[in-house]
């Protein structure tokens, strides 16, 4: 077939030597003269005479061959359509492109048409029609092969026109672009999918961004609404980058004043010098978190006690971005905690000393009683008298100490009464002057209209003397002591800071000196028993303990204000008395030693030493005495001895019946029986919160001979029921 073609070309060249474009004749295959050897021989002879012509022919042949290979290799089919003759020529590949067998007889133009997709025909037609005006045309269209497979074909061609612009012929190439089209379609689909995904992602991002903005807004609102905490952020180097309202409130800076500044300015100079702020950041950066409590400074220079947490903030890759810092003002909480700790400590110490003092008290009762007894019964002799009175003096000093301890531990029975504090203070002026000496000037500032207070007058005097002595010791070179009274209201805020204080009205007594003052550490411990800064032998450290115990037991409050080198104020607050009882006049009761007239006294005491000594004392006073170690024995004795006039019983008794229960049973049998209790201990059945029940008579251990004489006489002589006239609100109330 290829060979036949070449022959055609020879013929054409011969016939049309000037032939311009290469154009195989459509009827070449049908030329009957093609195989004529005679004609060919003539031609070769002609050519051999012209070498250059032969060369040209060879070149042409080579070109022809190359063109053919290129077409096959590129899958390109060539065609030409002579419009003048309406004849159609093409290379075999075109047939392949349209799905025809290239070996079969060539189909005519009309045969091609049905292979082309109907939808693509108009496009093809208009491309060809418009070609020439717009240069070469290019069109893509689909064809269906006989096996129904669909193929994409690209057509590229040119139209040749005559001088008048009339189309003469169309020539061009067809090639298969099915694969490219499929690729394009896939690319397009991919593109579209990609676009859809991009759009989707963009939408998601927009939603997320909106949510983030909303969250951020809410978070900002939240952070700002917190006013109890300073919440702010620092950059990596510790400069403030955000600031909430809590920070504004606690530290005093507005956001505009502090953002951009280093956070170390919140620390004290001392902490800054020690590098505390940098250590804090370094710790947070290293471990993720730094926590501390300490003193911080506000904008106005004032300090507060802060609880601080610093957290490192890192991004997903672990890179440090900065720090979140939360600061809380815990000044108040710390003060309350300190107070509470102090109160608990005092309570514990009180329990301890109270127990010891109680035992001591009983021992001293025996010691002193026996010494007094010895003094009375021994024949007068200077040496023994001296020894006995020295022993008695020592014992009473021990008794005073024990008493102070009992007062501190709030176990000393108080006898509260309605008091004019002004009158009491005024009445002490002589005593004060004598106590303080000439070098100290005393001033009393007594408030007009001062409320009455409810307290034990003797103990209050004791407390004031203790304070005066401390003041004197603090002013060795002289100075001034001021005693001031005032109606005072301790409010809720104050009560919150002082755990054991009840808000309300108090009678205030403020004792101020211009002495050496106390350090904060000393002031914090001053109330502790045995805490003294004085030299050995100079102070017992029990003075302020006594003041403290007494005031607490009275339902009051005591506080020290002191500065080194400036002086000290000790403030006592006693509860205001709200009852109707008149304030009694001050005055000392006169005591005379009264004796018995043989009346029968039943002594009930479990401690045999105390019992023996009491029995001896009572009988010495002129009474007849029976004794019992417990309640049931006492009741038996009562039943068998109708003449018992007085039951003198210890409150704490063994055997399941305490002194009060014994008294109740005894009263039931003998309603007119007189009863006198004794106790060294305030916390028991007959003494409520350290105060006496109304109508109850008590003598507190250790008691002296004369005290006992007076008391027994008084109880025996009293008309039954006389005591119950006393206002229970005063003596029994809380």
Residue 511 near residue 467 (C-beta atoms within 8 A): yes
In the complex, what is the shortest distance from the CB of residue 546 to ligand ATP, in angstroms, rounded to a whole number? 8
Strand segments (E) across 224-277: 229-235, 240-243
How many binding residues for Mg ion (CB under 5 A)? Answer: 2
- Minimum CB separation of residue 548 from ligand ATP in Å reads 8
Cα–Cα distance measured from residue 83 to residue 387, given in angstroms and rounded to the nearest whole number? 165
CB of 719 to ligand ATP, least distance (A): 44
Q: How far is the CB of 473 from ligand ATP (least distance, A)?
A: 6
- Residue 642, by phi and psi: left (phi above 0), alpha (psi -120 to 50) or beta? alpha
CB of 233 to ligand ATP, least distance (A): 48
Q: Is 574 exposed, middle or buried (0-12, 13-18, 19+ CB in 10 A)?
A: buried
The CB-of-346 to Mg ion minimum distance in angstroms stands at 17
Q: 92 vs 543, which CB is nearer to Mg ion?
A: 543
Q: Which range of residues in 3-11, 366-374, 499-507, 540-548 is near Mg ion by CB under 5 A?
A: 540-548
Q: How many CB atoms lie within 10 A of CB 439?
A: 11
Closest approach, Cβ 476 to ligand ATP, in A, equals 11
User: For Mg ion, which is the closer residue by CB, 322 or 479?
Assistant: 479
- Residue 460 contacts which entry, Mg ion, ligand ATP, none (Cβ below 5-8 A, type-dependent): none
Nearer to Mg ion, 172 or 543 (CB): 543
Looking from the CA of 601 toward its CB, the CA atoms found within 13 Å total 32
- Residue 543 or 596 with smaller CB distance to ligand ATP: 543
Nearer to ligand ATP by C-beta: 568 or 710? 568
Residue nearest to Mg ion (CB): 543
Binding mask of the shown chain, residues 457 to 486, with x at each position contacting Mg ion by CB under 5 A: -------------x----------------
- What CA–CA distances, in Å, run from 671 to 529, 640, 674, 685, 697? 45, 16, 9, 21, 16
CB 666 within 8 A of CB 646: no
543 forms part of the interface with Mg ion (CB under 5 A): yes
CA 645 and chain centroid, separation: 69
555 binds, among ligand ATP, Mg ion, none (CB under 5 to 8 A by kind): none
Long-range contacts of 348-356 (CB under 8 A, 24+ apart): 349/528, 349/529, 350/408, 350/409, 350/410, 350/549, 351/409, 353/405, 353/408, 353/409, 353/529, 354/405, 354/406, 354/408, 354/409, 354/410, 354/411, 356/405
Q: Among Mg ion, ligand ATP, none, what binds residue 541 when CB lies within 5 to 8 Å by partner kind?
A: ligand ATP
Closer to ligand ATP at the Cβ: 149 or 458? 458
Of 71 and 532, the one with the shorter C-beta distance to ligand ATP is 532
531 binds, among Mg ion, ligand ATP, none (CB under 5 to 8 A by kind): ligand ATP
Least distance (Å) from ligand ATP to the CB of residue 542? 5
Q: Is residue 515 close enough to count as binding Mg ion by CB under 5 A? A: no
Residue least distant from ligand ATP (Cβ)? 543
Which residues contact ligand ATP (rule: CB under 6 A)? 466, 470-471, 474, 513, 515-518, 522, 526, 531-534, 539-545, 568
Q: What is the 3-state secondary structure (H, E, C) of 523-576?
A: HHHCCCCCCCCCCCCCCCCCHHHHHHHHHHHCCCEEEEEEECCCEEEEEEEEEE
The first and second tokens of residue 117, run together, are 């997709």
Q: How far is 227 from 230, CA to CA, in rounded Å?
A: 7
Nearer to ligand ATP, 471 or 615 (CB): 471
The secondary element (H helix, E strand) that includes residue 711 is: helix 705-717
Q: Given the structure tokens 């309570």, which residue do they identify?
A: 347
Q: How far is the CB of 531 from ligand ATP (least distance, A)?
A: 5
Element (H, E) at 631: helix 631-640
Which residue lies nearer to ligand ATP by CB, 87 or 522? 522
Structure tokens at 388: 């006995």
Closest to 409 measured CA to CA, from 485, 353, 329: 353
Stretch that binds Mg ion, among 24-32, 259-267, 422-430, 543-551 (CB under 5 A): 543-551
Nearer to ligand ATP, 404 or 660 (CB): 404
Cα separation, 507 vs 486, in Å, equals 6
CB of 416 to Mg ion, least distance (A): 24
* Residues forming the site for Mg ion (CB under 5 A): 470, 543
């Amino acid at each position: 077939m290829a060979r036949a073609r070449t022959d055609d070309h020879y013929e054409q060249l011969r016939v049309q030597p000037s032939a311009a474009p290469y154009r195989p004749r459509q009827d070449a295959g049908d030329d009957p003269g093609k195989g004529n050897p005679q004609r060919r021989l003539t031609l070769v002879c002609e050519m051999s005479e012209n070498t250059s012509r032969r060369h040209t022919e060879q070149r042409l042949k080579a070109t022809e061959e190359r063109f053919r290979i290129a077409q096959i290799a590129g899958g390109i089919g060539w065609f030409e359509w002579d419009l003048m003759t309406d004849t159609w020529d093409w290379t075999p590949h075109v047939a392949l492109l349209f799905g025809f067998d290239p070996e079969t007889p060539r189909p005519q133009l009309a045969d091609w048409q049905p292979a082309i997709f109907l939808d693509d025909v108009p496009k093809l037609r208009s491309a060809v029609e418009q070609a020439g005006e717009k240069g070469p045309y290019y069109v893509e269209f689909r064809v269906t092969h006989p096996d129904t497979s669909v193929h994409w074909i690209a057509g590229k061609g040119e139209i040749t026109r005559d001088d008048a612009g009339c189309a003469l012929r169309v020539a061009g190439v067809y090639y298969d672009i099915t694969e490219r089209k499929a690729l394009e379609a896939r690319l397009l689909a991919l593109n579209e999918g990609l676009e859809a995904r991009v759009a989707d992602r963009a939408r998601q991002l927009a939603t997320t961004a909106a949510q983030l903005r909303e969250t951020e807004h809410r978070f900002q609102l939240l952070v700002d609404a917190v006013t109890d905490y300073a919440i702010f952020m620092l950059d990596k180097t510790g400069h403030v980058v955000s600031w909430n309202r809590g920070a504004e409130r606690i530290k005093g800076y507005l956001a505009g004043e502090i953002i951009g500044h280093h956070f170390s300015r919140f620390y004290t100079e001392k902490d800054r010098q020690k590098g505390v702020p940098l250590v804090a950041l370094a710790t947070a950066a290293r471990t993720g978190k730094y926590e501390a409590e300490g003193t911080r400074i506000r904008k106005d220079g004032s300090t507060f006690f802060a609880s601080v947490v610093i957290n490192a903030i890192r991004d997903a890759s672990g890179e440090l971005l900065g720090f979140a810092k939360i600061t809380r003002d815990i000044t108040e909480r710390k003060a309350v905690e300190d107070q509470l700790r102090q109160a608990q400590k005092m309570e514990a110490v009180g329990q301890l000393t109270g127990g010891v003092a109680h035992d001591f008290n009983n021992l001293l009762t025996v010691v002193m009683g026996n010494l007094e007894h010895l003094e009375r019964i021994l024949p007068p002799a200077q040496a023994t008298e001296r020894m006995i009175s020295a022993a008695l003096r020592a014992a009473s000093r021990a008794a005073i100490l024990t008493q102070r301890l009992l007062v501190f531990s709030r176990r000393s029975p108080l006898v509260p009464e309605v008091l004019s504090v002004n009158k009491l203070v005024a009445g002490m002026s002589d005593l004060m002057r004598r106590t303080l000496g000439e070098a100290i000037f005393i001033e009393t500032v007594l408030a007009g209209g001062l409320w009455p207070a409810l307290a034990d007058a003797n103990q209050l005097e004791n407390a004031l003397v203790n304070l005066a002595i401390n003041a004197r010791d603090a002013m060795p070179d002289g100075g001034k002591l001021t005693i001031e009274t005032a109606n005072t209201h301790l409010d809720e805020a104050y009560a919150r800071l002082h755990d054991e204080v009840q808000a309300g009205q108090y009678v205030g007594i403020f004792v101020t000196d211009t002495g050496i003052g106390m350090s904060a550490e000393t002031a914090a411990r001053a109330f502790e028993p045995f805490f003294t800064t004085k030299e050995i032998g100079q102070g017992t450290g029990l003075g302020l303990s006594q003041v403290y115990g007494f005031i607490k037991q009275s339902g009051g409050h005591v506080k020290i204000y002191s500065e080194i080198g400036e002086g000290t104020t000790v403030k006592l607050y006693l509860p205001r008395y709200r009852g109707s009882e008149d304030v009694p006049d001050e005055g000392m009761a006169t005591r005379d030693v009264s004796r018995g007239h043989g009346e029968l006294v039943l002594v009930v005491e479990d401690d045999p030493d105390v019992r023996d000594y009491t029995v001896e004392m009572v009988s010495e006073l002129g009474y007849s005495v029976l004794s019992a170690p417990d309640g049931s024995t006492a009741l038996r004795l009562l039943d068998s001895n109708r003449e018992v006039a007085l039951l003198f019983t210890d409150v704490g008794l063994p055997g399941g019946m305490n002194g009060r229960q014994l008294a109740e049973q005894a009263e039931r049998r003998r309603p007119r029986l007189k009863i006198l209790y004794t106790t060294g201990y305030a916390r028991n059945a007959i003494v409520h919160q350290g105060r006496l029940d109304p109508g109850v008579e008590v003598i507190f251990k250790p008691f002296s001979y004369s005290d006992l004489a007076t008391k027994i006489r008084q109880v025996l002589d009293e008309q039954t029921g006389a005591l119950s006239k006393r206002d229970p609100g005063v003596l029994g109330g809380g």
